[in-house]
Amino acid sequence: MRDAKITELTGFPGSHHDLFMEQIGLCGIWGYKDFNKPEWLDKILEWQEPSGCYASAKKYECFDVPAAMSHTRVKREEKILSDGCLSHETGVALLALVANVRFEAEKEHEMNEKKMLFMK
């Protein structure tokens, strides 16, 4: 959560989009509800290309280490597709969106259960 909040406080730099979406997606799927923030979902949707994919790869720099000491992070599994989309970044964005859908569905389910209790 700490890294996601730092990413937010620093204005969501492009170099941290991938890691941010991974954190939202994985922590969300694991059930950590703190990662379900409407403003974070809005940001992730802002970064989406008109075609629906994600394509902004930026050099990653660690917040906790001065830039001169920071090592460049190389994504060996990232693939640029023929339309310019990034396969990994698009995948983690989808994971983050799915995690948000899960939380919204759970909220709706809880509300419906409460309504059913009052109707009895």
CA distances (Å), 75 to each of 4, 50, 60, 117, in order? Answer: 19, 24, 10, 50
> Of 70, 51, 50, 63, which is closest to residue 19 (Cα–Cα)?
63
Q: How far is CA 97 from CA 24, 55, 63, 115, 117, in A?
A: 9, 16, 25, 27, 31
pTM of the model: 0.75
How high is the pLDDT of residue 79?
81
Q: How far apart are CA 67 and CA 60, in angstroms?
A: 10
Cα separation, 12 vs 21, in Å, equals 11
- For residue 61, what pLDDT is reported? 54
Provide the residue-wise pLDDT of the chain in tens; the chain has 120 residues.
999 999 999 999 988 999 999 999 999 999 898 999 999 999 999 999 998 899 876 654 555 555 555 555 555 567 888 788 889 999 999 999 999 999 999 989 988 888 877 776
Position 38 scores a pLDDT of 92
Rounded Cα distance between 52 and 47, Å, is 10
Q: How far apart are CA 89 and CA 105, in angstroms?
A: 24
Say what the pLDDT of residue 76 is: 58
